[in-house]
Amino acid sequence: MKKLNFHPRPTLLALAMLASPLLHAQEGATNTGMYVGISAGESKAHIDNARITQSLLGAGLVTDSLTEDRKDTGYKAFVGFPINPYWAVETGYFDLGRFGFTANTTPAGSLTGSARIKGLNLDLVGTLPITDKWSLLGRVGAAYALTKDTFSGTGAVSVSDPSPSKRETNYKYGFGTQYAFTPALTLRLEAERYRINDAVGNRGDVDLVSLGLVYRFGGSTPTATKTAYTPYVAPPPAPTPAPVVVAAAPVAPAPMAPAPKPWVKVKLEADSLFGFDQDQLQSDGKLALDKLLMELQTVNIDSIAVTGHTDRLGTKAYNAKLSTRRAEAVQAYLVQVGGIPASKVTAMGVGSSQPETQASECKGSKATQALITCLRVDRRVEVDVMGSQQQR
């Protein structure tokens, strides 16, 4: 599981309440009693497709397709203990639900996996009042999670440990808002991120967006009043004299060494990898790269240069950007799925500057189907591998 899309910053809310001189606590009610709450909503995880594909590839299996179940219903129950009108400590129980995947392989087989995540948490919660009834929330804390994985295989896929589990403490944080219907009853909306490590080494995040109710014992909530404050504005600093820059003497470039010949050079048709005028890898393209990665398992790799090419249709600027995005997509796959160190793989796009066809072979400038087919070999990604064969 990996990180998802939202990026809350709980510390900003905390710093605002600690540092701002605009807020001065003045209790409108002395009751800061304990409260309880329950929330439910949608939990979402990112299945680590690259890790799954890499694991299968290491066993000699090529992933043909992978379906995933990233969403489930999560809930939590908690108890809060106010420290003052702005801070409270919360502890509770959470159940983030179950997430899973099914990967189909060649040779014929399948791997199905799922993970169930639940546990206990301890958080420090900060509250920033906006009005008498509406306030913002920020939290940071620790989650002690139990992750139970379940795996099963069919055909060529065998599973040595079908039911691993993991208990571990990690951080969690979130932000939200709440509205008080009465001094005792509050509606709360939150988005939280839980850092989770499962039983097979996956490290990632699970997000929970929940809506819930909070009941405060005692019937009243602590409040704060705002007083005006005029901040001190420091005078501008005196201008400093401009620095004197002395140009360095030019250094003669060192003579360039002749470029070494690649151990292997692979040309992959872009239409098979991406589809016409696209930059997202298709299943056929991933299959071709998986076969290349299997061949490279016996190679001591020094470096890999990935170069994207396009045909002459379209503008030079567009073709340059398209070829670069395609090269970077292949680079990312070799690193993330193949496990090749990122420092050894470079990517660049040269657009239509290095065609394989001659102008006399594919005549015309209008993007007809005949011309697109003729220029097919120009749309390609070249992979140059520098290295040596491993000694057996």
| Helix H or strand E segment including 35 | strand 35-45
pLDDT at 6: 32
Taking CA atoms, 25 is separated from 28, 90, 330, in Å, by 9, 21, 57
How buried is residue 333: exposed, middle or buried, by Cβ count under 10 Å (0-12/13-18/19+)? buried
* SS3 assignment for 108-143: CEEEEEEEEEEEEEEEEEEEEECCCCEEEEEEEEEE
Answer yes or no: same fold for 10-226 and 264-389.
no
pLDDT at 54: 87
User: Are 134 and 179 a contacting pair, CB within 8 Å?
Assistant: yes
**At a CB cut-off of 8 Å and minimum separation 6, what does 369 contact?**
none
Strand 299-309 with 264-269, pairing? unpaired
Which CATH number applies to 264-389: 3.30.1330.60, 3.40.50.620, 3.40.50.1820, 3.30.300.30? 3.30.1330.60
Beta-ladder partners of 380 = 269, 309
CA separation for the pair 113, 101 (Å, rounded): 5
User: Are 96 and 74 a contacting pair, CB within 8 Å?
Assistant: yes
pLDDT means per 10 residues, the chain with 392 residues, are 34 35 36 86 88 86 91 97 95 96 93 94 97 95 95 91 92 97 96 85 85 85 40 56 54 58 77 85 86 87 94 91 94 91 94 90 83 90 89 70
The number of beta carbons lying within 10 Å of the beta carbon of residue 387 is: 16
Structure pTM? 0.54
Q: Which amino acid is at 375?
A: L
The number of beta carbons lying within 10 Å of the beta carbon of residue 212 is: 20
The ranges assigned to domains in the chain are 10-226, 264-389
DSSP single-letter state for residue 362: S
pLDDT at 4: 31
For tokens 């400590």, name the residue: 89
Q: Which amino acid is at 319?
A: N
Domain boundaries 10-226, CATH class: mainly beta
pLDDT at 253: 62
pLDDT at 367: 80
Say whether 332 sits in a helix, a strand or coil: helix
Taking CA atoms, 286 is separated from 126, 274, 304, 337, 352, in Å, by 47, 9, 17, 10, 24
Maximum CA extent, the chain: 89
CA separation for the pair 347, 338 (Å, rounded): 16
Residue 292 dihedral angles phi and psi, to the nearest 5°: -60, -45
